[in-house]
Amino acid sequence: MTAAYIALGGNLGDPRHQLLDAMDALGRLPATRLLRRSRLYRTPPWGVLEQPPFLNAAALLETGLGPHDLLDALLAIEQRAGRVRAERNGPRTLDLDILHMEGVRIDDARLTLPHPRIAERAFVLLPLADLAPDLLLPGQGRVAELLAAADTQGCECLIEGRLAE
């Protein structure tokens, strides 16, 4: 069994409902247990700026699936949520990315692990820090240190559907 960290995001339809449904679906994957999930964060769009804000979260799984099988399972969950891959960084109902799998380094045509752009993205680092602030991402650094250097302007933690105070 391997620890796997998954990023979740969406900004179309009912993102809160879609993220919570996706977390449930992650826990139902074969040979997989959902160990922990982060709080939800409202974050500004990244890349394509003319779109609604996103909701983002992260999940920690324990899985017996290999990296490519896990990727295929995530893509199937996205598809069931109505994901249409129209443009890179554009609006979407659900986006699931493998951020890191303990002890796994991959760089092929389908998958790079750890995810190569974690350090650039507060919308990934905030929820990941809820789960594992001391996690060392090979070639990038510790999550807490990466988050301290990230621009978190416009990011808001949601608690039970309300903005955190």
- How many other C-beta atoms can be found within 10 angstroms of the C-beta atom of residue 164? 11
Q: Which of 37, 42, 83, 121 is catalytic?
A: 83
The reply to whether 83 belongs to the active site is yes
Residue 48 has a pLDDT of 81
Q: Which of 42, 97, 121, 130 is catalytic?
A: 97
Distances (CA, A) of 20 to 24, 37, 159: 6, 10, 13
- 88, 46 contact by CB (below 8 A): no
Mean pLDDT rounded to a whole number for the chain? 93
Residue 83 has a pLDDT of 79
Give residue-wise pLDDT tens across range 21-66.
999 999 999 999 999 999 999 999 988 878 999 999 999 999 999 9
pTM of the predicted structure, to 2 decimals: 0.94
Give residue-wise pLDDT tens across range 59-99.
999 999 999 999 999 999 999 988 777 667 678 899 999 99
Residue 82 has a pLDDT of 84
* Residue 161 burial by Cβ neighbours in a 10 Å radius (0-12, 13-18, 19+): exposed
The reply to whether 39 belongs to the active site is no
The reply to whether 97 belongs to the active site is yes
Task: Kindly list the structural domains of the chain, giving each domain's residue range(s) and its CATH number in brackets, ordered by start.
Answer: 2-163 (3.30.70.560)
Residue 165 has a pLDDT of 43
Q: Which of 21, 42, 88, 92 is catalytic?
A: 92
Give residue-wise pLDDT tens across range 99-144.
999 999 999 999 999 999 999 999 999 999 999 999 999 999 999 9
Closest CA to 81 of 100, 101, 55: 55
145 Cβ neighbours under 8 A, 6+ residues apart: none
Backbone dihedral region for residue 20 (phi beyond 0: left; psi -120 to 50: alpha; all else: beta): alpha
- How many other C-beta atoms can be found within 10 angstroms of the C-beta atom of residue 72? 12
